[in-house]
């Protein structure tokens, strides 16, 4: 009886210790959760709903990794990338098969509104990219720039071969009919304004926006669109972030994506104010 009683007592003691430990663990967990989860004010609610959008976009990006490929001065097009090229525009140009239909729809919708949009450049091979670089460089030299200045000006707009989005067949340079200049004056054209206001519907983003040159590594190009699919295009445009930011959010640890998104959106807001 005595032994049994001690055993029972010990058992009781052990279970009390376990319960206490569980409570302590629970309190620690609650403490950390409260620390991680931001206070429930309006902007955080918005942020959290955005995070669920990101989660959906993450799932989608796994399915559509080809259309969300990041190509910039630091990220070359991988050797095994399949641009899946098809011809368009009287077989004079080529683009990735996935953008032909949205591109055609956008151009014809623009036409219906009275704007003629001309796709002047789509897919480019490494050789063509080098040719454009050489041409631009020579033009600057002819205008009297030093070799150093000519090189800098050329690479402000053109990526080196292998590093241009145009190699993916997902990028388009589109000029308005009334202005053939590939410069900032495009943004003054009504057709360009319509295009930039509506391109997300067709899955395109303005890839090199004004004020974000440090992130994109490229000067403002109101004529250069990049296909990323409609949900991603709408997310990037409505949050006023760059494609580089978006890829960073996608690749971040899930628990950190809210924090990162907040940081990026606040950064973008500051950039917009300072513009
Ligand atoms: Zn371009």
Q: What per-residue confidence (pLDDT) applies to 40?
A: 44
Distance between Cα 210 and ligand 1 center (Å) = 15
Ligand 1 mean position, distance from CA 204 (Å): 13
Binned average pLDDT, 10 residues per bin, the chain of 275 residues: 56 77 74 52 60 71 79 94 92 94 98 97 96 96 96 92 96 95 94 97 97 93 96 91 90 71 68 52
Structure tokens at 38: 């931001």
User: What was the pLDDT predicted at 37?
Assistant: 47
Same domain, 171 and 194: yes
Dihedrals phi, psi of 227, to nearest 5 degrees: -80, 130
Q: Is residue 43 part of a domain?
A: yes
- Distance from Cα 146 to the centre of ligand 1, integer Å: 25
Distance from residue 57's CA to the centre of ligand 1 (Å): 25
What's the pLDDT at 110? 98
Q: What is the pLDDT of residue 7?
A: 58
Do 97 and 48 belong together in one domain? yes
Whether 46 and 136 share a structural domain: no
User: 194 alpha carbon to ligand 1 midpoint, in Å?
Assistant: 18
- The Å distance, Cα 35 to ligand 1 centre, comes to 44
260 and 220 in one domain? yes
Q: Among 68, 104, 87, 53, which Cα is nearest to 238's?
A: 53
Cα distance between residue 111 and residue 232, in whole Å: 25
Last residue of a domain, one of 163, 191, 223: 163
Same domain, 136 and 205: no
Instruction: Say whether both 157 and 169 belong to one domain.
Output: no
Q: How far is the CA of 264 from the centre of ligand 1 (A)?
A: 25
> Does a structural domain hold residue 143?
yes
> What pLDDT shows up at residue 213?
93
Are 185 and 152 members of one domain? no
Cβ neighbours of 252 (radius 10 Å) = 15
Residue 8 domain flag: no
Q: What is the pLDDT of residues 152-175, one digit of tens each?
A: 999 988 999 999 999 999 999 999
pLDDT, residue 132, reads: 95
When divided into structural domains, the chain yields a total of 2
CA distance 184 to 175: 11
What CATH number has the domain bearing residue 235? 3.30.1380.10
What are the percentages of helix, strand and coil residues in the chain, rounded to 5? 60, 10, 30
Q: What is the pTM of this model?
A: 0.77
d(CA 229, CA 96): 13
Model pLDDT, residue 119? 96
* 180 domain-assigned: yes
CA distance to 124, 142, 187, per residue, from 121 (Å): 8, 24, 18
What integer pLDDT is reported at residue 44 of this predicted model? Answer: 59
> Same domain, yes or no, for 76 and 190?
yes
Distance 107 CA to ligand 1 centre (A): 17
Distance 222 CA to ligand 1 centre (A): 9
Dist. CA 171 → ligand 1 center (Å): 6
The answer to whether position 61 is within a domain reads yes
Cα(151) to centroid(ligand 1), Å: 18
Q: Compute CA 266 distance to the chain's CA centroid, rounded to the nearest angstrom.
A: 16
pLDDT score for 39: 46
**CA of residue 200 to ligand 1 center, whole Å:** 17
Sign of the dihedral through C-alpha 203, 207, 211, 214: positive
Ligand 1 centroid distance, CA of 189 (Å): 18
Angle formed by the axes of helices 243-251 and 42-63, nearest 10°: 90
Count the alpha carbons within 13 Å of 11 in the hemisphere toward its beta carbon.
6
* pLDDT attached to residue 38: 45
> In angstroms, rounded to a whole number, what is the distance separating the alpha carbons of residues 223 and 98?
20
d(CA 176, ligand 1 centre) in Å: 14
CA of 160 to the centre of ligand 1 (A): 12
The answer to whether residue 215 sits within a structural domain is yes
Q: Which domain holds residue 227?
A: 39-124+164-274
**Exposed, middle or buried, 53 (CB in 10 Å: 0-12/13-18/19+)?**
middle
């Amino acid at each position: 009886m005595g032994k049994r009683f001690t055993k029972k007592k010990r058992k009781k003691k052990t279970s009390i210790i376990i319960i206490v430990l569980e409570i302590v663990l629970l309190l620690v967990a609650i403490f950390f959760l409260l620390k991680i989860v931001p206070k429930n004010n309006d902007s955080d609610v918005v942020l959290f709903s955005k995070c669920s959008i990101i989660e959906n976009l993450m799932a989608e990006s796994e399915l559509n990794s080809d259309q969300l490929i990041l190509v910039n001065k630091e990220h070359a097009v991988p050797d095994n990338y399949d641009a899946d090229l098809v011809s368009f525009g009287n077989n004079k140009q080529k683009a990735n098969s996935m953008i032909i239909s949205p591109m055609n729809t956008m151009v014809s919708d623009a036409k219906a509104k009275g704007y003629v949009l001309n796709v002047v450049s789509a897919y480019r091979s490494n050789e063509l990219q080098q040719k454009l670089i050489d041409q631009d460089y020579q033009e600057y030299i002819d205008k009297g720039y030093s070799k150093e200045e000519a090189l800098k000006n050329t690479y402000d707009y053109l990526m080196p071969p292998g590093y241009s989005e145009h190699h993916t067949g997902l990028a388009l340079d589109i000029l308005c009919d009334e202005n053939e200049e590939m410069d900032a004056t495009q943004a003054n054209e009504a057709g360009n304004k319509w295009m930039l206001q509506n391109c997300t519907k067709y899955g395109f983003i303005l890839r090199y926006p004004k004020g974000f040159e440090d992130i994109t590594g490229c000067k403002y190009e109101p004529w250069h669109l990049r296909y990323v699919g409609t949900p991603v295009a709408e997310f990037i445009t409505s949050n006023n972030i760059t494609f580089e930011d978006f890829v960073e959010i996608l690749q971040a640890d899930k628990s950190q994506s809210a924090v990162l998104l907040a940081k990026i959106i606040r950064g973008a807001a500051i950039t917009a104010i300072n513009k």
